[in-house]
Amino acid sequence: MRIELKLYGVRAQIFKLFAVIVLFVSTPALAADKFVVAFGDSLSAGYGLKPAESFPVQLEAALRRGGTPARVHNAGVSGDTTAQGRARLGFVLRSLKAKPNLVILQLGGNDMLRAIDPAQTEANLSAILADLKKRGIPVLLAGMLAAPNMGKAYQTRFDAVYPKLARQYSVKLYPFFLNGVTANRTLLLKDGIHPTGKGVSVVVAGILPQVKRALGR
């Protein structure tokens, strides 16, 4: 009698285990969050803002509200030029716990403010794009436009860098990261350069459709 009860107990445990396995195999896996890296300068880092007002945080919230589960990692460093971004790219990618589904490359504004030769800006951005392409990481290139006080010749050369690289590396281009912000002083901090929290929300609203399309692929 005891032997029969033991056998019955063993059979019951085996049945439970089998049921758990069947349930696990037959249940569809939940969609994993998309992983986005905002790789840029102070405009990505959130200079002068509360953490919740920064571009990565606001973009992540907007994606989730729109039905795209995503995590947006802040890899912005205030003051970074394209050369400095190029130098730290490998370290940033090695430090991540997962391979990004998308990198938003937002650099070049400090090059322009320092009047760095646009040829150097192009070379640095090209090296970054080549590295990301080699790693199989999709990119959305966030463009920058030169300020009018830089002079017409400089403005023409600088503004041409981003469309040229987007074509060369077959990446999507958001032509001007601060579109809708720079012409409205109420959306800028006192320095007249960096967006306020509301200014960042305008940036996010502008770039969001392209980010969603990029993640949808």
Identify whether 191 is a catalytic site residue.
yes
Active site (annotated) includes residue 42: yes
Q: Which of 44, 80, 194, 201 is catalytic?
A: 194
pLDDT by residue (tens digit) across 77-105?
Answer: 999 999 999 999 999 999 999 999 999 99
32 pLDDT tier (thresholds 50, 70, 90)? confident
Residues 6+ apart with CB under 8 A from 81: 41, 107, 110, 111, 114, 116, 124
Q: Alpha-carbon distance 125 to 104, whole Å?
A: 12
Domain ranges across the chain: 33-216
Please enumerate in sequence order all residues whose Cβ is within 8 A of that of 213, keeping only pairs 6 or more positions apart, or say none.
172
From the candidates 42, 44, 54, 201, give the one annotated as an active-site residue. 42
- Taking 80 as the threshold, does the pLDDT of residue 213 lie above it? yes
Q: What is the pLDDT of residue 168?
A: 98
Annotation marks residue 194 as catalytic: yes
CATH class entry, domain 33-216: alpha beta
pTM: 0.85
Q: Look over the chain and give the mean of its residue pLDDT values, rounded to a whole number.
A: 90
Tell me the CA end-to-end span of the chain in Å, nearest whole number. Answer: 62
Using alpha carbons, list the distances in angstroms from residue 169 to 32, 118, 135: 28, 18, 13
Bridge pairing between strands 172-174 and 34-40: unpaired
